[in-house]
């Protein structure tokens, strides 16, 4: 069974048909056998483009006046959802598949004219970033747009986005509904607001800031802990100044984004799976090149260091205002548990499943504080991590919103275990790494969900074992 995106053989321009919705990843009942690593992971590699930055490059270019040039864009199901939606809204997207698997080319946005009324509901697939950022993008336009998603996205909370946008003057139907599908009716007279976000969420922050670019005055977003800041870093590249301190971001409107050039660095969240596999597998030593080293994203390297793992980060340049460079990781035989405090959780939020697997191999208890947000990711990742670790024979439990893992340095995994990814890409890769690094074959149900963020995951692992 092949898990590649359905058109990875296409080497030239991608057209509309290439962005049709793929089969819902969560629907698959099939299991994939994952082979143990053929040897230590060694050598250097580039991981695909950062998912968060790729979404923003596509969406901001679609909003802008003129033709933007983008390179290094991640070709994955989630980013294709963003591309499909902005095309339906009138942006011209001419991206070509590059030899390294990334997408590059031009995107001509709707600019001051605004998006067109789409003929059909916009299907955001599995992508929370697409749905939530689009809500902010559609806020200033007098059109009616229905946003829908797959069965996973249709259970994820949306009131966190609709509540501040309604304060700005946007309407949603049905009113007060928490889940997609939702119909948004924008307002040409958006009010600038100061909003205290109830949780640290870059998707919420971005939706409000993007709406704020069209509102008269200063829109301010305060957050309880620092979330990723790609929007604040990238908007000035599109001619929209932002101000940002640790817990506050703001934008001054009204402004029309102007076309820009964006080069997307490698995704640290994808790199984390290779890094953790190298830390766990004897003899491994790898380098991941040209990866984003944004501090709001590489909390996992600090967590691994605190566990005693041999991990190093070396900055060598930047892509726009995003710092980039290399992450090195070596096998580390003695790991120790540690505590990850609430204010650092946002910087590891997508890496908690794979960090939990590393914690399962460490001496002592690891505690992730205040990780309730994991319950509303692509699946309930908190419950799924506890269940998967219990399957491995590791004591893991939730206490309120905290996650506890009591590691076992001599953990052995029996052959032939079957894990359920629940259609969640990060869980699929976590359980694959559990088997690979333990030297036993395992089965992962719904493994093709890796196409959401890292379609070449298995081939990159294979390359590092040669
Ligand atoms: C993202 C923000 C995070 C993260 C998600 C991508 C983004 O979600 O988990 O994978 O690109 O802004 P929240 O904003 O819900 O925390």
pLDDT at position 21 is 53
Rounded to two decimals, the pTM is 0.96
270 phi and psi, to 5 degrees?
A: -75, -40
Å from CA of 273 to ligand 1 middle: 18
120 phi and psi, to 5 degrees?
A: -135, 170
Please say whether the beta carbons of 58 and 107 come within 8 A. yes
Q: At what angle do helices 425-438 and 352-360 cross, to 10 degrees?
A: 20
Q: Express each pLDDT in 84-139 by its tens digit.
A: 999 999 999 999 999 999 999 999 999 999 999 999 999 999 999 999 999 999 99
pLDDT at position 7 is 45
Q: Rounded to an integer, what distance in angstroms lies between the CA atom of residue 122 and that of residue 398?
A: 37
What number is the average pLDDT over the span 138-161?
98
What number is the average pLDDT over the span 222-251?
97
Identify the three-state secondary structure at position 120.
Answer: coil
Residue 184 CB partners (closer than 8 Å, separation 6+): 135, 138, 139, 144, 145, 146, 147, 165, 170, 171, 172
Mutate to test the pocket of ligand 1, among 49, 52, 127, 348 (most ligand atoms within 8 A of CB): 52
C-alpha dist (Å) from residue 131 to 78, 126, 128, 134, 182: 10, 9, 5, 5, 10
Atom of ligand 1 nearest to the CA of 133: 12
Kindly state the helix (H) or strand (E) to which residue 245 belongs, with its residue range: strand 242-245
DSSP per-residue string spanning 155-197: GS--HHHHHHHHHHT-EEESTT--SS-EEEE--SSPBP-EEE-
Report the alpha-carbon angle 253-257-260, nearest 5.
Answer: 145
Q: Express each pLDDT in 430-440 by its tens digit.
A: 999 999 999 99
What number is the average pLDDT over the span 182-197?
98
pLDDT at position 16 is 63
Query: Please, where are the H alpha helices in 46-170?
Result: 51-63, 77-88, 128-138, 159-168
Identify the three-state secondary structure at position 363.
Answer: strand
What number is the average pLDDT over the span 171-194?
97
pLDDT at position 234 is 98
Residue owning the nearest CA to atom 9 of ligand 1: 350
Rounding to the nearest 10 degrees, give the CA dihedral for residues 1, 464, 35, 419: -80
246 annotated active-site: no
Q: Express each pLDDT in 389-404 by its tens digit.
A: 999 999 999 999 999 9
Strand order in the sheet with 182-185: 122-123, 144-148, 182-185, 171-173
Å from CA of 146 to ligand 1 middle: 22
Å from CA of 253 to ligand 1 middle: 24
Mutate to test the pocket of ligand 1, among 129, 135, 269 (most ligand atoms within 8 A of CB): 129
- Residues pairing with 171 in the sheet: 185
Identify the three-state secondary structure at position 349.
Answer: helix
Residue owning the nearest CA to atom 11 of ligand 1: 52
Q: Rounded to an integer, what distance in angstroms lies between the CA atom of residue 462 and that of residue 464?
A: 5
pLDDT at 9 over 70: no
Please say whether the beta carbons of 265 and 291 come within 8 A. yes
**Residue 99 DSSP class:** T
| Site residues for ligand 1, CB cut-off 6 Å | 52, 55, 129, 201-203, 206, 227-228, 349-350, 373
Count Cα neighbours of 350 within 13 Å in the Cβ-side half-sphere: 23
Atom of ligand 1 nearest to the CA of 199: 16
Rounding to the nearest 10 degrees, give the CA dihedral for residues 347, 352, 355, 356: 150
Over the chain, what is the mean pLDDT? 95
Q: Rounded to an integer, what distance in angstroms lies between the CA atom of residue 338 and that of residue 229?
A: 26
Question: Of these residues, 350, 420, 424, 460, which one is catalytic?
Answer: 350
Dihedral sign, Cα of residue 71, residue 74, residue 76, residue 81:
negative
């Amino acid at each position: 069974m092949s898990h590649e995106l359905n058109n990875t053989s296409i080497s030239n321009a991608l057209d509309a048909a290439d962005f049709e919705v793929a089969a819902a990843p969560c629907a698959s009942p099939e299991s994939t056998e994952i082979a143990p690593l053929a040897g230590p992971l060694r050598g250097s590699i580039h991981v695909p483009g950062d998912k968060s930055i790729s979404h923003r490059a596509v969406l901001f270019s679609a909003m802008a006046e003129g033709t933007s040039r983008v390179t290094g864009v991640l070709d994955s199901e989630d980013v294709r959802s963003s591309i499909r939606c902005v095309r339906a809204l009138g942006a011209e997207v001419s991206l070509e598949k590059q030899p390294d698997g990334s997408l590059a080319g031009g995107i001509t946005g709707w600019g001051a004219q605004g998006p067109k009324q789409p003929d059909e509901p916009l299907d955001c697939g599995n992508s929370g970033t697409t749905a939530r950022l689009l809500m902010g993008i559609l806020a200033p336009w007098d059109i009616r747009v229905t946003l829908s998603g797959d069965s996973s996205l249709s259970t994820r909370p949306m009131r966190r986005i609709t509540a501040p946008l309604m304060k700005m003057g946007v309407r949603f139907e049905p009113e007060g509904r928490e889940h997609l599908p939702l119909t948004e009716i924008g307002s040409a007279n958006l009010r600038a607001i100061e909003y205290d976000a109830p949780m640290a969420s870059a998707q919420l922050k971005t939706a409000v800031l993007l709406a704020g670019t069209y509102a008269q005055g200063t829109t301010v977003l305060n957050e309880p802990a620092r979330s990723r800041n790609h929007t604040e870093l990238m908007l000035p590249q599109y001619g929209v100044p932002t101000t940002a301190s640790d817990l506050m971001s703001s934008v001054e409107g009204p402004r029309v984004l102007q076309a820009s050039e964006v080069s997307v660095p490698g995704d640290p969240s994808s790199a984390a799976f290779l890094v953790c596999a190298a830390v766990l597998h004897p003899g491994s030593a790898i380098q991941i090149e040209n990866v984003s080293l944004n501090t709001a994203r590489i909390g996992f390297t600090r967590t691994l260091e605190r566990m005693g793992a041999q991990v190093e980060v070396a900055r060598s340049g930047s892509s726009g205002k995003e710092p980039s460079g290399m992450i090195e990781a070596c096998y580390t035989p003695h790991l120790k548990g540690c505590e990850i405090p609430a204010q650092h959780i946002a910087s590891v939020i997508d890496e908690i499943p794979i960090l939990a697997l590393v914690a399962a191999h460490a001496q002592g208890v690891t505690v992730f504080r205040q990780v309730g947000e994991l319950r509303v990711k692509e699946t309930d990742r908190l419950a799924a991590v506890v269940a998967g670790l219990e399957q491995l024979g590791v004591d893991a439990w939730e206490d309120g919103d905290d996650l506890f893992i009591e590691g076992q340095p001599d953990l052995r995994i029996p052959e032939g275990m079957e894990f359920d990814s629940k259609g969640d890409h990060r869980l699929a890769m976590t359980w694959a790494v559990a088997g690979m690094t333990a030297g036993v074959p395992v089965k992962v149900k719904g493994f093709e969900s890796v196409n959401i963020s890292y379609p070449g995951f298995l081939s990159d692992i294979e390359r590092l074992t040669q």
